[in-house]
């Protein structure tokens, strides 16, 4: 799930992360030390063990410096993927915040700076983000391509699953 979130957000998996579910913490144990506290290795659990029923929720935190926090909730369990594709991507909007932008509050500042070419930080922000960065752009095809589902079909799906 971590890698799917990284792909959808357009991030590069350069920071620590954890999932918190019912007061339990899950992270990649290779990346944490004993100061990190009591953590279960994410590679030792299955998704269905962590999300056993509809309504189960979790918090995913990425980049403890920037503090990106995502609320995840299981809303449906299905044995047949939508359109025969796994993972399925349902919808989205706007561009994701770039990696290492400083968290929610700094990202909001960056968006404000981009609307004011006379701002003292405008040139450096445009240079850092790149001239093609568009905060309201959303490209579903790019995300599906990165997830490996663009044009892919699960072999045998046409015949159905049992």
- Token readout for 8 is 């959808």
Give the integer Cα–Cα distance in Å for 142 and 85. Answer: 15
Residues 9-61: pLDDT tens digits? 989 999 989 999 988 888 887 776 666 678 888 888 888 888 888 999 999 99
| Domain 1-77 listed as CATH 3.40.640.10 | no
pLDDT at 67: 94
Q: What are the domain boundaries of the chain?
A: 1-77, 95-136
Contacts of 20 (CB under 8 A, 6+ apart): 26, 58, 59, 61
Residues 89-138: pLDDT tens digits? 778 889 999 999 999 999 999 999 999 999 999 999 999 999 889 999 98
40-41 and 57-62 strand pairing: unpaired
DSSP structure string for 5-37: HHHHHT----S-EEEEETTEEEE-GGG--GGG-
How far is C-alpha 100 from the geometric centre of its chain's CA atoms? Answer: 14
pLDDT at 42: 86
- For residue 118, what is the enclosing H or E element? none
């Amino acid at each position: 799930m971590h890698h799917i979130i990284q792909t959808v957000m357009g991030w590069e998996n350069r920071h620590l992360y954890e999932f918190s579910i019912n007061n339990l913490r899950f992270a990649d144990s290779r990346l944490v030390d004993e100061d990190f506290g009591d953590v279960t290795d994410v590679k030792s659990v299955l998704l269905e063990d962590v999300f056993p029923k509809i309504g189960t929720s979790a918090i995913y935190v990425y980049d403890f410096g920037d503090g990106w926090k995502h609320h995840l909730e299981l809303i449906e369990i299905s044995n047949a993927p939508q359109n025969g594709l796994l993972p399925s991507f349902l919808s989205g909007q706007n561009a994701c915040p770039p990696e290492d932008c400083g968290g929610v509050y700094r990202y909001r500042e960056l968006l404000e700076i981009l609307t004011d070419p006379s701002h003292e930080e405008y040139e450096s922000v445009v240079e850092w983000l790149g001239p093609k960065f568009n905060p309201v752009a959303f490209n579903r095809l790019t995300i599906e391509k990165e997830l490996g589902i663009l044009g892919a079909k699960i072999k045998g799906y046409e015949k159905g699953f049992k």
